[in-house]
Structure 1
């Protein structure tokens, strides 16, 4: 009498492997010496529900941790910088997924190294869109790390509702530097009427509370007075905090990049040039405005 797959694998055994142990269909097929399709059909015959691709991915990362979880449990300048990146350019999902997507590979590679990320960076090269940029993405799943982020207000669908978090004072400049690298800009120019140099430090967010938090911190820490917070005309519901006074922009540059802290290469270079110009013009010296 021919032995069938049903004879070899009972419903109870298949449920134990797939549901209780969390093994994939492919793993079970390899264990039983048969094909993927055979196990898939047997599950259907037994009425065992299959995981969605999203659930399967989450389970895979749970069983195969692809980063250093301990990194996120320690307060450090690097952690709070990365937290700032996630507050601006990252996202968290309800099932514990964490994703960071940026256009600057130097930042993504730095984060990858710091958190011990073992997987490849996903690269998306846009096609058919004028001026669209290549993006680089890190993705991992971990409920514990998602819970740590949630404690700082980084939750699913945070863009319009995120509150400015309670960050230890010694790390607040690291956090804002991360936010700046995610959703900030620095522009330097020359006025056409009189040739005077112009500088503008800018951070945007969909949350007014978050932008007000940045404004409050820069006033308290540096006595910087920015322009009135306004709605960005280029995006409905996006709020903008801008500092245009040159000596104030220099103060921010010195504060953000103290001790030669890491930052996005193109923004850091421009901010340090602002600081260098200010010192040469004796508008800023040894950490104080003059």
Structure 2
């Protein structure tokens, strides 16, 4: 197809960088898909597959969410490490939580459309789906891969965001005694368990790891914080300056001890 008179390479690049869909670019330039791609490749411009396909992103999300540390990002990451899943076949991640309030807050922080996976005989827990290759890649750079349960590391979280990260971890896979001074986090990853233990010990909390075997013979680790003074101290660390607006029984049980310090 011949190029429309007066249309330059520079104009085509500007159209492309402004995220004009290929369908509209074809009408303006007179070029075919291949002709437009040739111009883009000639000038070394990286192609966006969504733009090339002519299809807008179906579900919105902030694809840069995991690129910058914030308290919200650290909290969501803590939840994902414990209750999340990286899809091996597609560019998607999934958060699973019985409490939809938590899922809605995740979607709010990630500026994502609230899209739940359909439930059925094999999926009873509400699950939030996030579709993004960039987000999947960013999580992989943090050591979080498909089939992560036994291999996930304890991420290198900046110290100022550790309380928010631990808050998310406890909300994800934590258990808090209703009347007492005991809390534990369950994980199948030895590396994550040791990183969590080191964090609790750096906060001078009474903490330990125990392990059991599941039906498949794999090790399951529990990282404990116990004590009349230690559990309230943990609650003070992770909730006193918390920015996440939600209520759950775990947060309630932990927070009821704050006035005992």
TM over 0.5: same fold? yes
Aligned with residue 230 of structure 1, among 210, 225, 230: 210
* 1:60-111 deviation per Cα after TM superposition (whole angstroms, max 9, x unaligned): 9984342122333332100111011110000112332111111111111111
Query: 1:156 offset after TM fit, Å?
Result: 0.7
Q: Which runs of 5+ in 1 are unaligned?
A: 1-20, 24-58, 128-132, 190-197, 279-283, 285-290
Q: Secondary structure of 1:91's partner?
A: strand
Could you tell me how far apart the structure 2 residues matched to 1:161 and 1:261 are? 30
Q: Is the 8 A contact 1:61 1:142 kept in 2?
A: no
**In structure 1, what is the Cα distance between the partners aligned to 2:55 and 2:147?**
22
Change (3 A) 1:264 1:153: farther
Secondary structure in 2 matching 1:201:
strand
By percentage of residues, which structure has more helix?
Answer: 1
Aligned mate of 1:64, from 45, 58, 62: 58
CA distance in 2, matches of 1:252, 1:234: 29
The separation in 2 between residues aligned to 1:74 and 1:123, in whole angstroms, is 31
Whose Rg is larger?
1
> Would you say 1:101 and 2:83 are equivalent positions?
no
Among 147, 159, 164, the alignment partner of 2:154 is 164
Q: 1:164 & 1:200 partners in 2: Cα distance?
A: 22
- SS at structure 2 position matched to 1:135: coil
1:112-164 Cα shifts (integer Å, max 9, x gaps): 1111222433463769xxxxx95221112212111111121111111001111
- What does 1:202-217 correspond to in 2, within 5 Å? 202-217=184-199
- In structure 2, the residue matched to 1:49 is none
Q: 1:217 to 1:175 in 2, by over 3 A?
A: same
Q: What TM-score, normalized by structure 1, do the two folds share?
A: 0.65
Q: Distance in 2 between matches of 1:271 and 1:217?
A: 18
The question of whether the paired residues in 1 share the 8 Å contact of 2:64 and 2:135 is answered with no
* Conserved 8 A contact 2:115-2:129: no
Tell me which residue corresponds to 1:116. 111
RMSD between superposed Cα atoms in Å = 2.7
Aligned twin of 1:192: none
Deviates more, 1:257-266 or 1:59-68: 59-68
1:146 aligns to 2:129 (yes or no):
no
5+ residue gaps, structure 2, are: 1-20, 24-52
The alignment of Structure 1 onto Structure 2 pairs a total of residues equal to 208
- Structure 1 residue aligned with 2:74, among 61, 75, 80? 80
Report SS of the residue matched to 1:110.
Answer: helix
Structure 2 residue matching 1:146: 3-state secondary structure: helix
Q: 1:22 to 1:72 in 2, by over 3 A?
A: farther
